[in-house]
Amino acid sequence: MAKALIKSRNKGIKLGLTFLILAIIIIATVGFIYVKEQMKPVDSEGVSYDITIKIPSGSTTAKIADILEENSLIKNKYIFKIIVRMKEVDGKLKAGEYSLNKKMDLYQIIDALVKGNPKKTVKFTIPEGYELSMIAEKLSKQNLVNKERFLELCNNVSLFKKKFDFLKELPEGSTLEGYLFPDTYEVYKDAKEEEIINKMLARFEQVYNDKIKYKAKKLNLTMNEVITLASIIEREAKLDSERPLISAVFHNRLKKGWLLQSCATVQYVLGERKENLTYDDLKIDSKYNTYLYKGLPPGPIASPGLKSIEAAVEPANVDYMFFVVNKDGSHTFSRSFNEHVNAKNKNK
């Protein structure tokens, strides 16, 4: 009887150990699969563009992991820290500015940070209200692009549609006018024209957020209409406080079916920013001439900044129909034509 009990107990212990070992194997396998998955690129399937990050001097591995996770370059910051320790490179990750992308796996990112960033970079700033031709000219003078190739690429939107879905919303025949966001950028000195364009389009995609999209939808405006209107506001306004007022004038005119009569659109047709337009200038036959054609032009006339884009979807609640520029760059707004004429006479 005792032997039978001992035999039964031993059998139970063996069975329990078997289940325990199986459980450990299963847990280890699941854990291994999970860790392996977390080490993979964030976006191995889709189209990915470079993301520039800056690792400050003296950053710990934990701080670097936070920066990478915040920029969606790694899936799990804890796994990152574990792999760094396993590779025995803790404390060897170098500070600097890096261009990384979501197609890089954990090992590639760690190797890049260990190696450091020996490439020299250069900064450039595109002011708000610049046209494509002006952007090309500025970058060419900084020896960053071949002007002709840059403009040729900007005139071929289809080359960038795979990377940026928002470009699919543009009307047929559009260029990248208005969509290279004006900002300060840092690129490698040997960056190609495509890389610079991608960087600027990526910034636009970031700026044109869900909040702006929601407000545009409420106003029944397409993205192209928003950016077109914003570009006109950008060219007309000098003071940030006046952007919503200028936007309101154009919105009010559009609602009433009036001509927008923006000098900035005529200047775009002329290809030069004349301070004073002649009557002949105002007669130039172009869909961009808002003195001849009602509604918005076919596309943007320049690259608008964020404040102009916001003004385009958030016009001031006023009934102004006219504005005239004052000598100090500000504007006088009027409700009636007579008020407008008086304001113009005062500025002579």
Arithmetic mean of pLDDT over the chain: 87
**Cβ–Cβ < 8 Å for 330, 242:** yes
Residue 82: the pLDDT is 87
Domains of the chain are: 51-115 (3.30.1490.480), 121-207 (3.30.1490), 210-346 (no CATH)
Under DSSP, the state recorded for 168 is G
Average pLDDT over residues 98-109: 85
Residue 53: the pLDDT is 85
Residue 110: the pLDDT is 86
Residue 28: the pLDDT is 60
**Cβ–Cβ < 8 Å for 187, 195:** yes
Residue 273: the pLDDT is 81
Inter-CA distances, 305 with 83, 231, 243, Å: 42, 8, 11
Residue 13: the pLDDT is 65
Percent of the chain with pLDDT over 90: 53
> Is residue 202's pLDDT more than 90?
yes
Q: What is the pLDDT of residues 59-88, one digit of tens each?
A: 898 999 899 889 988 888 888 888 888 888
Cα 22 to Cα 257: distance, rounded to the nearest angstrom: 76
Q: What is the pLDDT of residues 319-337, one digit of tens each?
A: 999 999 888 889 989 999 8
Cα 96 to Cα 35: distance, rounded to the nearest angstrom: 28
**Cβ–Cβ < 8 Å for 75, 38:** yes
Burial of residue 302 (CB within 10 Å: 0-12, 13-18, 19+) is buried
Structure tokens, 80? 């990152």
Which positions ≥6 away from 50 have C-beta within 8 Å?
Answer: 99, 100, 101, 195, 198, 199
